[in-house]
């Protein structure tokens, strides 16, 4: 299984096994307030116990829709039923943030997603009410390009900051990553998650030659580029999907290529 899938299955209340499953940020830096207003955190809220478990990331793309990885909908913890927006540092009231939780109306995975295989690893979370946009909550733009020819990306998330220490970050972090082109065709083994290996048409191959990576806790989070123009600060080019292990310089991970799915995304958004 992928490192991110395994973490989703075994994660509970910010505890996690030593198995590498989801992704988070290694070698990155703390995000500045209001820098990434499209950042979303997905979780399961057990109302009987008054306990919430956060286990995936996402990207706000409209007043009612959050983009994420379809495999985030497959967990023994419980179905995604809550989304937090406007957060910076969890469990803190001293950060410059405006956290707000939204109940989930519906989860929609891509019709060609066939778990446990991680192709077409893209899903939409429909919120139960509209998001009121402000400096802390602004959607990302859908991509204008596939990203195949771009050199650099930004990944964000709240997951592990060290590959061998099983505690997710309380603060939103960011890391700069590079496009590895088709290198994943050589570095990706065929297995249950990826029976056909790397798919250049629907996946981006992204990583770093340094100790910079996404790691446990960040599945479903965005791979971003800056947007030049009005309407948003960033375009979401990729979705954190699957990798070999955290903090492996020169060994890139696979991200769902959002551009390939624009027609499906827009169709689903128009149907709301």
What pTM did the predictor assign? 0.88
| C-beta atoms surrounding 230 within 10 Å | 6
Look up the domain containing 101 and give its range. 1-272
Q: What pLDDT shows up at residue 94?
A: 86
Predicted pLDDT of residue 29? 79
pLDDT value of position 166: 58
Q: Tell me whether residue 71 is one of the annotated catalytic residues.
A: yes
Q: Which of 219, 241, 247, 253 is catalytic?
A: 219
In Å, what is the CA distance from 222 to each residue of 179, 241, 266? 15, 10, 18
Q: Which of 121, 193, 213, 218 is an active site residue?
A: 121
Concerning whether 267 is annotated as a catalytic residue, the answer is no
In degrees rounded to 5, what are phi and psi of residue 235? -105, 140
Q: Which CATH number fits the domain that encloses residue 118?
A: 2.40.10.10
Whether the per-residue pLDDT at 7 is higher than 90: the answer is: no
Whose CA is closest to 66, among 74, 57, 75?
57
Q: Which of 71, 110, 169, 199 is catalytic?
A: 71
32 is catalytic: no
Looking at residue 217, what is its pLDDT?
A: 65
Q: What is the pLDDT of residue 260?
A: 98
As a whole number, mean pLDDT of residues 119-127 equals 98
Residue with tokens 């080019």: 237
Domain count, the chain: 1
The values of phi and psi at residue 7, to 5°, are -70, -35
pLDDT greater than 60 at residue 14: no
Q: Measured between alpha carbons, how far is 45 from 43 in angstroms, rounded to an integer?
A: 7
Q: Which residue has the higher pLDDT, 197 or 26?
A: 197
Least confident of 1-5, 131-135, 170-174, 207-211: 1-5
User: Burial of 167 by CB count in 10 Å (0-12 exposed, 13-18 middle, 19+ buried)?
Assistant: middle
């Amino acid at each position: 299984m992928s490192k991110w899938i395994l973490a989703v299955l075994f994660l509970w209340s910010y505890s996690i096994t030593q198995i590498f499953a989801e992704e988070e940020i290694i070698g990155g830096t703390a995000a500045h307030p209001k820098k990434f207003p499209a950042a979303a955190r997905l979780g399961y809220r057990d109302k009987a116990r008054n306990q919430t478990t956060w286990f995936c990331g996402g990207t706000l793309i409209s007043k009612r829709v959050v983009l994420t990885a379809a495999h985030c909908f497959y967990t023994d913890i419980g179905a995604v039923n809550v989304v937090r927006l406007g957060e910076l540092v969890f469990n803190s009231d001293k950060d410059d943030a405006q956290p707000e939780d939204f109940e989930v109306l519906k989860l929609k995975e891509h019709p060609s997603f066939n778990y446990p295989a991680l192709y077409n690893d893209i899903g939409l979370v429909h919120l139960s009410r509209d998001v009121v946009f402000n400096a802390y909550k602004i959607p990302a733009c859908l991509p204008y390009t596939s990203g195949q020819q771009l050199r650099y990306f930004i990944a964000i998330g709240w997951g592990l900051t060290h590959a061998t220490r099983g505690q997710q970050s309380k603060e939103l972090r960011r890391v700069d990553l590079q496009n590895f082109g088709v290198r994943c065709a050589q570095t990706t083994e065929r297995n249950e998650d990826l029976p056909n290996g790397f798919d250049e048409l629907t996946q981006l191959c992204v990583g770093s030659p340094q100790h910079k990576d996404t790691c446990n806790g960040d599945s479903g989070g965005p791979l971003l580029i800056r947007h030049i123009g009005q309407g948003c600060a960033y375009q979401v080019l990729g979705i954190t999907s699957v990798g070999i292990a955290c903090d492996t310089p020169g060994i890139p991970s696979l991200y769902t290529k959002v551009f390939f799915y624009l027609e499906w995304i827009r169709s689903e958004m128009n149907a709301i």
